[in-house]
Structure 1
Amino acid sequence: MPAPAPARMHRAVRSAPPHRAGRRGRAALAGLLTLTAAAAAAPSAGADGPPYVTRPDLRPTRVTVTTPATNVAPGYVFATPKGGGIDSGAEIFDNAGQLVWFRPAKKRGTSILDLKPQTYEGKPVATFWEGLAVRGYGFGAFHIVDQNMNEIGRVSPNGKGQMDFHEFTLTPQGTALGISYKPVRGSTTAVKGGARNDLIMRNLIQEIDPKTNEVLWEWDITKGVSPAESYLPIPARPEVAYDYIHANSVNLDADGNLLVSSRHTHTIYKVDKKTKKIIWRLGGKKSNFKMGPGARFAWQHDAHRQPDGTISLFDNASSIENDKGKRSKGLVLNVDEAANTATVAKQFVNPVPKVDNTQGNLQALPNGNWFVGWGGTGRNVSEFSADGTQIFEAKYASKRTESYRAYRSPWVAQPQVAPKAVARRSSSSVAVRVSWNGATTVAAWRVVGGASATTLVPRIVSARTGFETLIRVPDRAGESKVVAVEALDVAGNVLSRSKAIAVGAKY
């Protein structure tokens, strides 16, 4: 059944993020907090990890910041942690490692991968893939989420849910670039042990209309690249398709043609969009460029043309995790197409001397910094200054947790669903916990209480202290039998209000 076309973008968020608020707004909020300074908020129940009392359905990984943020680019971290006993999901967290948004996979056994900030129809969106991931291949669809955290699109070739997770790039033309795989029959006689009618993995590079899921353009890379270019041996088992290419990224070049990264040929291909012919090869066995010292890469991911003409990528360096003497890195190359040379412009090496043999990405940031997701065995994300100094690092709690890619980006979101709150009575106070999954505009919470839902009056204002905030409301007389919590922006405006809830003896 075809996926639904995106709906109209919902109304814009109603408040600027705190760092953009004016002096008057900050003063207004400071005044509200001063009035209730006697009742400080306790740390969040989720500060040491899930579960959250207000959202027991959310089980994201705990994130630890190991290099505090210094002169980093503005924004949050976007990742898709999976493994290590936590739910696979799309996760946004801040520079302190505090959760901002988590969206778990909806079906048991499925995964969410590649949460990415992008622009769609001129507005900020977040995109992620969800589906069945098996042996490094995906069968699912990409989802587009707006700033109200509502899904406005679901994209796969012809709406059949057969899109791979490796790439989804929204173009300025309003289309989407992606990859699909399918086992087919083909010749592998170009390599030792090959056969005329062998089982191979077809790699399709596709351009799709996100509104209709119509495939507008596609290129079968297996018809343009020979198995002789591959560094991957033919599988020993005949039922395993020989994926001698394994395309894992596709992005627009500056001239409108495409850059396609092929992991198993150690090559980045520039493809003519009109003729579907390969213009040149960067790296690999048939490179059109003389690769300078340190410029060669292997098993790479995430190739992009940068505005200054360089090409960036994540160099996995090896397909073996404990390959001694090799280290994965973010790599930026000067590519001279006139002289046919490629030299190292920048590189960003994981402070941990190891190989991240699967997954990974390198993102150029607007302020000149670079952000690295270290992939399958990295368990960490890093931000580097232009000179290669690590200025931020965060790690997932479990050594078995990984994220395909990770990004940093500014993001302003205000969900249309209301905040969630729970309340428990003690001898002299009411302990209220509140959270609002995905909201970035909340500066403080105001608890209102009374004998019933129709008699609620302001009780206390407390600063937001992470994803879930605990607020102790003085209540010796037991007046607050029912409470609700209002989300306030930095100017003290009410953004939303939780459902009125009865105060219980326990959570």
Structure 2
Amino acid sequence: MLWLGLLLLCLQNVVAWHSDDDLMSFVTLPDVRAVKFNITYQDRSRVAPGYWFVSPYLHISPDEPTSLYEQYQVGPHIYDQDGQLIWTGSPMFDNRNVFDFKVIHSIGNEPHISLILQYNNDGSERGFGMILDKNYEVFKKVPLRQDLGAFDIHEFNVLKDGKTALVTVYLNEEISLAEFGRPEEQTWLETGGFAEIDLNTAEVNYEWRSYNQIPLAETVHYSQYSDVEGPPGWDYVHINSVDKNDNGDYLISMRFTNTLYLISGVDGHIVWRLNGQHSGDFDQDFIFSKQHDAKFLESSGTRHVISFLNNASDEEFAEEQVSSALIIEVESGTVPMTARVLRRYNRPDGDLTRLRGNSQVLPNQNMFVCWSQGGYISEFTPEGEPLMSARFTSPRYSNYRAYKFEFTGRPHTPPDVVSSVIGTDESNLVTTFWVSWNGATDIAYWNFYAQASQFDKPVFVGNAFKSDFETMFIAKGYLDWVSVEAVDRDGNAFGISKVQRTSFPNWQTSGWNGYSSSPRPNNPATIYRQDSSITPDDWTSDEDLLPTADDTADAQLRKATLTLMNTYETIRSIGGLFALILLLAVMCGIMASYLLIRGWRVRLYQRVPMEEGLPEEEAHLRSDRID
């Protein structure tokens, strides 16, 4: 029986069921497990258009090698605003951590993607700044000069000229503690700095280091009583962002001094300090601490408009009750110099982001904020009204920075398609398609085709809207050679899968009860010849592609198969024994319905004479011959 075969198929997967229903899985990309989002919209009509660019990770440092199979789950991912996956780069980067994943518009006429590929666990690779084109292929792979250490995860800021990028740098040296009145003692120090590097040659055009520029006394993370440390040493400033204005000066954020610094691009001296917790160079109407991601929004002469994330806390202490994204105005041409808050966006849940995070002003002036832990993101109106909040469904993952961009992705690889056939006899065979195209952003619907052999002409068998990363479609008959075509909203086909063969079960153990020992593939030109006039414009929804309740019993089997598959996907993560019991109950219900529809109907069926004295089937054939 078909049901026995389906049961055996499901039993084979019982041991593989997981309780991690917070991850997506796909038939077409079986190695991928992508994180899910929980999303709340306060007013979706006012959010900016675009996709979410996130790079979830399990641990901030590279994981140890393991002999256990680990599915692809971390690294760069693009989602739409429904939380549906658009692209996963986890397989491309072999499940390695990726940071600062965003779209840039400074290289040529096409958008590109920039990211930081973290150093690997054994140190054989020290990390890279990478740029991908819109086809998700590597455009540039930029190393860091050997003496500048590993490529730091905080910043890869491709500048407006498209020729250079800013990176943060961490270096170690042993210093005297004379500044703290302990000249006889020495400690290792982790100095924070930055470098501007050439994207073509990886040469360093400019570099700056904190030691001898920022005194030890400015740190809030250590004191004159702190114990000395060996390598890597005191992380006394902890640089986490760097930006450059048109005047050639650099804005840096030092988390462990609670300070933003403007660095001269001419000689490297500190032009001014904006301190978040005590009086610095400015008269200011706000405080901040442990901040991240300071960026110029405007910078002209002595006036600067800057955005950053005010964490207001770290792992141990909190200076305020809630974290916020701030837009501030700095005026350095007055006496005293002034700093004022222009806009404040408090974290919607009233909590603190103690680590990481970023903020981004969108083209419509909305503010998009990553609160980091758990992948928590928010979007606000310019006035501070929350419009959307979302989190990873799984608390195991976090995200350092998140961004939102409009983007068109056109992968060079073809769509992925998987198909399989199932049925109990020749009258109820159905072929199920699954299709996805990793990274394609503008698919409106899919056209499905089948052909009698590898060299026959494809026959159109139906279509379905793309409503998720992966689309499933069920077609009648045993379709042996299949392909799928992507179509955009204007009706233009722009990508087709490879032609491939449909997989089939072990017919002897799957409940096959046909005339022959195993079914033969159908010629799609024969099955679908009566539908030859159907075109992709003739359909309206996925339900229209399925037979109605008034169709024949094979149509009921198709609907039952679809129900079973959907039920299996729903309960696959509930847990072993309970899930198995629930699945058996659903299968029994479907089988009973099927017997009512098909079996009992067959036993009670009586041929009804037509006016000509011919049974209905023969009358239909006679009518065909007359036509």
TM-score, structure 2 length as denominator? 0.68
2:167 matched to which residue of 1?
178
1:403 matched to which residue of 2?
399
Partners of 1:159 and 1:95 lie apart in 2 by: 41
Q: Taking structure 1 as reference, are residues 236 and 472 closer, same or farther at Cα in structure 2, changes over 3 Å only?
A: farther
Answer whether contact 1:321 1:355 (CA < 8 A) is retained. Answer: no
Deviations 1:422-481 (A, max 9, x none): 011133421111111111121111111022222222211211111111112233xx3x21
Partners of 1:192 and 1:382 lie apart in 2 by: 46
Deviations 1:480-499 (A, max 9, x none): 21101111122222211112
Partners of 1:61 and 1:98 lie apart in 2 by: 10
Answer whether contact 2:374 2:394 (CA < 8 A) is retained. Answer: no
Mean Cα deviation higher: 365-374 or 185-194: 185-194
Q: Out of 310, 315, 321, which is 1:315 matched to?
A: 310
Q: Taking structure 1 as reference, are residues 109 and 159 closer, same or farther at Cα in structure 2, changes over 3 Å only?
A: farther
Aligned residues: 453
Deviations 1:28-62 (A, max 9, x none): xxxxxxxxxxxxxxxxxx99742211012222211
Equivalences for 1:263-274 in 2 at 5 Å? 263-274=255-266
Deviations 1:348-370 (A, max 9, x none): 11121221111000101111100
**What root-mean-square deviation, in Å, do the aligned CA atoms of Structure 1 and Structure 2 show?**
2.6
Q: Taking structure 1 as reference, are residues 118 and 245 closer, same or farther at Cα in structure 2, changes over 3 Å only?
A: same
Partners of 1:163 and 1:336 lie apart in 2 by: 34
Answer whether contact 2:366 2:379 (CA < 8 A) is retained. Answer: yes
Deviations 1:372-430 (A, max 9, x none): 0002x253100000111111111101123210011111101100011111011133421
1:353 matched to which residue of 2?
350
Answer whether contact 2:289 2:319 (CA < 8 A) is retained. Answer: no
Larger Rg: 2
What amino acid does structure 1 have at the position aligned with 2:412?
Q
Equivalences for 1:13-28 in 2 at 5 Å? none
Deviations 1:81-121 (A, max 9, x none): 11299722101101100011111176778411121111242
Partners of 2:444 and 2:305 lie apart in 1 by: 40
Mean Cα deviation higher: 336-345 or 303-312: 303-312
What amino acid does structure 2 have at the position aligned with 1:213?
A
What amino acid does structure 2 have at the position aligned with 1:472?
I
Q: Out of 54, 63, 67, which is 1:79 matched to?
A: 54
* C-alpha displacement of 1:146: 0.6
SS at match of 2:322: coil
SS at match of 1:89: coil
SS at match of 2:127: strand
Partners of 1:105 and 1:425 lie apart in 2 by: 29
Answer whether contact 2:57 2:74 (CA < 8 A) is retained. Answer: yes
Partners of 1:109 and 1:504 lie apart in 2 by: 29
What amino acid does structure 2 have at the position aligned with 1:502?
R
TM-score, structure 1 length as denominator? 0.83
Structure 2 gap ranges (5+): 1-19, 60-69, 424-428, 506-564, 566-627
Q: Taking structure 1 as reference, are residues 268 and 362 closer, same or farther at Cα in structure 2, changes over 3 Å only?
A: same
What amino acid does structure 2 have at the position aligned with 1:492?
G
Q: Taking structure 1 as reference, are residues 250 and 466 closer, same or farther at Cα in structure 2, changes over 3 Å only?
A: same
Hey, which of these two has a bigger chunk of strand by percent? 1
Answer whether contact 2:101 2:115 (CA < 8 A) is retained. Answer: yes
Q: Out of 453, 462, 465, which is 1:463 matched to?
A: 465
Equivalences for 1:184-195 in 2 at 5 Å? 184-191=173-180
Q: Taking structure 1 as reference, are residues 193 and 65 closer, same or farther at Cα in structure 2, changes over 3 Å only?
A: farther
Alignment of 1:367 onto 2:364: yes
Equivalences for 1:195-234 in 2 at 5 Å? 197-233=186-222
Partners of 1:403 and 1:251 lie apart in 2 by: 21
Partners of 2:237 and 2:406 lie apart in 1 by: 35
Partners of 1:462 and 1:365 lie apart in 2 by: 33
SS at match of 1:182: strand
Answer whether contact 2:312 2:318 (CA < 8 A) is retained. Answer: no
Q: Out of 136, 158, 176, which is 1:149 matched to?
A: 136
Return the structure number with greater relative CO, CA threshold 8 A, min gap 6. Answer: 1
Hey, which of these two has a bigger chunk of helix by percent? 2
